[in-house]
């Protein structure tokens, strides 16, 4: 069995990274959002929002599939 990457938060609801793989996925998500904001947010807002939603959904799916149950 695979070691979980994300676990439940201590306070509130949601998931938080608990392994180095979870932190890498989180850092990649933050870097992707930052890159999208710099390159597309003012010139092509529809593409920016579409890619932002896609990246967020992908992040949530990875977090959900690799969580501690």
**Does residue 45 lie in a domain region?**
yes
What are φ and ψ of residue 67, in 5° steps? -85, 160
**Does residue 10 lie in a domain region?**
no
List C-alpha distances in Å: 59 to 16, 23, 45, 65.
Answer: 12, 12, 21, 10
Question: Structural domain tally of the chain?
Answer: 1
Which domain covers residue 51, as residue numbers? Answer: 16-65
> pTM above the 0.95 mark?
no
pLDDT value for 36:
95
Q: What is the pLDDT of residues 2-59, one digit of tens each?
A: 899 999 998 999 999 999 999 999 999 999 999 999 999 899 999 999 999 999 999 9
């Amino acid at each position: 069995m695979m070691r979980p990457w994300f676990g439940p938060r201590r306070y509130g609801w949601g998931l938080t990274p608990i392994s180095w793989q979870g932190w890498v996925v989180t850092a990649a998500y933050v870097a992707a959002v930052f890159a999208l904001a710099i390159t597309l947010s003012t010139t092509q807002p529809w593409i920016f929002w579409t890619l932002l939603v896609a990246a967020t959904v992908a992040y949530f799916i990875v977090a959900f599939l690799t969580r501690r149950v």
